[in-house]
Amino acid sequence: MSDIETYKISDGGFNVDVKISGGEGKTKIYNLVKHKINPATHALLDQIKQELIGTVQISAEEILDPKVIESIKKRFSDRAITLIKQKLPRIDAKTLNFLVMTLVKEMLGLGDLEILLTDPNLEEVIITSSAEPVRIFHKKYGWLETSVYLKDEAQIRNYFNTIARRVGRQITNLNPLLDAHLLSGDRSNAVLYPISSKGNTLTIRKFARDPWTVTDFIKNKTCSAKVFALIWFSMQYEANVLISGGTGSGKTSLLNVCMPFIPSNHRIISIEDTRELTLPKYLFWCPLTVRQPNPEGKGGVSMLDLLVNSLRMRPDRIILGEMRKKEQAEVLFEAMHTGHSVYATVHADSVPATIQRLTNPPIDTPANLLSAVNLNVVMFRNRRLNTRKVFQLGEFIAGEESGKAKIKSNIIYRWNPTLDILQPHQKPLRLFEEMSRHTGLNLNEINSDISKKETILNWLVKQNIRDIKSVGRIMRAYYINPELIEKHAKKNSSPESVFKEVE
């Protein structure tokens, strides 16, 4: 097989080569070119493992505390260095570091899986069983088989136990399912044999080390600067926004991208099943995540529990990872009507479909409550091209039919697939009127504000200000001194000169 692409990833200070091989009409393979360890060295490492187990003491409290993992690794590393030097006094520093890193990964981590998790091009890492290769989802090539195999089912189960210990849980034949986070923030899901009939199965969804920002979404045409400026204006003045879309359409990614638009002095409470949001450190943010009950069925904390509790935490903004149930919707819409600014995602493919989804079981929200939503953004995924777009941006219009409250949709922007652009479709019927009432701005002033925000967003793209820290700094600076940021945007100043002046 010929190599389609070759690149390097860094693993603990060592470069590891990745080769994507294949060809026309052939299956593509993800080859991990690792440093080879000969059988004699393997035997030596096995011997050192046994000595480490006997000499490095770890308390039960330390095992259950993810915050002390680095100190545990250091104790293992220090002792491993001593043992290796005793047995191989002439070993060079680079080889020593490699062997120590290998030992720590195998004893305290996930072995070769950790190398895969350092590859920024991967979204998912999947183990189906020890009889099959590890599979990955590559951002560019989709699903690929890898050259990595696990030794046996016992090794996979050992990985399960390592993950479970870090979150204070167990995975057993009585409780064969595990949903947890790795120390890196990656989400993992484990299923034991025979529930997974091929063998022990592990799915790891990688947590974004370098999250998408508004700059990325404008550059890759997911959404236009003009539409983002409208969303920014709405969020600045505390509009309630729902983000709809199908599975994998990018709902959570868009939600994450829009969060820096919130003023940095507003208290934000986010509620998620599993932690996916990554907000700039400048925001006043408290992230909450649900907790599964223990094997006795106790200690569980549901999304509804967190949602009700969040109302007692004096939030300015509430973010709900995904609205699925009637009880969640009731509390969420009640929060909207009591003056909280709310953002949530929901599964629906268009603005009209969002209304249908919200007003019918299982969510079944009374139609009159939907008038609290100011803006609905719909995401779309083109599965053939593997691209994600903002498909529609609309609002909910209250009306009546046969004496009953009825909600209709008004689509403000929609995606034109022929031209691959977001085009104006209808004029806003509610949004600007309500924003004018809340802000005291007239229509000309609102359009002027949105235009200034569009200029700033285009400036971010021109200057390639794209990492979440830099975007967050610009947004914080905007809310401190908007005229200054507008001036720099018009002059197309470098980000360094802006940060120097505002910080």
Q: For the residues of 91-158, what is the DSSP string, one character each?
A: --HHHHHHHHHHHHHHHHS-TTHHHHHT-TTEEEEEE--TTS--EEEETTTEEEEES---S-HHHHHH
- Token pair for residue 338? 């009591």
Give the pLDDT confidence score for residue 312 in this predicted structure.
Answer: 93
Please tell me the predicted confidence (pLDDT) of residue 318: 96
Pair (273, 410) in one structural domain: yes
| The last residue of a domain, from among 440, 462, 479 | 440
Instruction: Tally the domains of the chain.
Output: 3
130 located within any domain = yes
Per residue of the chain (503 residues), give pLDDT as tens: 678 899 998 876 678 889 999 866 678 899 988 777 888 888 888 888 888 877 766 655 555 555 667 777 788 888 888 888 888 888 888 888 888 888 888 887 788 898 899 898 999 999 999 999 999 999 888 899 999 999 899 999 999 988 887 777 789 988 899 988 887 778 899 999 999 999 999 999 888 778 899 999 999 999 999 999 999 999 999 999 999 999 889 999 999 999 999 999 999 999 988 778 889 988 999 999 888 777 777 888 998 999 999 999 999 999 998 888 899 999 899 899 888 999 999 999 999 999 999 999 999 999 989 999 999 999 999 877 778 999 999 999 988 877 787 899 999 999 999 898 999 999 999 999 999 999 999 999 999 999 999 999 999 999 999 999 999 999 999 999 999 999 999 999 998 888 888 76
pTM of the model: 0.84
Alpha-carbon torsion, ordered 139, 141, 147, 153, to 10 deg: 60
Q: Is residue 306 within 8 Å of 290, Cβ to Cβ? A: yes
At residue 63, the pLDDT reads 55
User: Phi/psi of residue 194, each to 5°?
Assistant: -100, 10
The answer to whether 385 and 362 are in contact (CB under 8 A) is: no
Q: Clarify whether residues 77 and 118 are in a common domain.
A: no
Domain that holds residue 297: 214-228+238-440
Q: Are 28 and 133 part of one and the same domain?
A: yes
Same domain? For 329 and 346 the reply is yes
In the numeric block, which tokens belong to residue 175?
A: 């409780």
The whole-angstrom separation of Cα 307 and Cα 30 is 42
User: d(Cα 373, Cα 434) in Å, to the nearest integer?
Assistant: 11
Counting beta carbons within 10 angstroms of the beta carbon of residue 46, is it exposed (0 to 12), middle (13 to 18) or buried (19 or more)? exposed
Give the N- to C-terminal CA distance of the chain in Å, as an integer: 54
Question: 479: burial class by Cβ within 10 Å (0-12, 13-18, 19+)?
Answer: middle
> Do 97 and 130 have their domain in common?
no
Q: Are residues 362 and 243 in the same domain?
A: yes
Cα separation, 474 vs 478, whole angstroms:
6
Query: Are residues 264 and 389 located together in one domain of the fold?
Result: yes
Residue 448 lies in a domain: no
**What is the chain's Cα-based Rg?**
26
- Residues 89, 284: Cα–Cα separation, whole Å: 53
Contact between residue 412 and residue 425 where contact means Cβ atoms under 8 Å apart: yes
CATH of the domain at 360: 3.40.50.300
Spatial contact of 431 and 234, defined as CB atoms under 8 Å apart: yes
CA distance 123 to 144: 12
Cβ(395)–Cβ(413) below 8 Å: no
User: Taking a C-beta distance cutoff of 8 angstroms, is the pair 187, 274 a contact?
Assistant: yes
Which CATH number covers residue 168?
A: 3.30.450.370
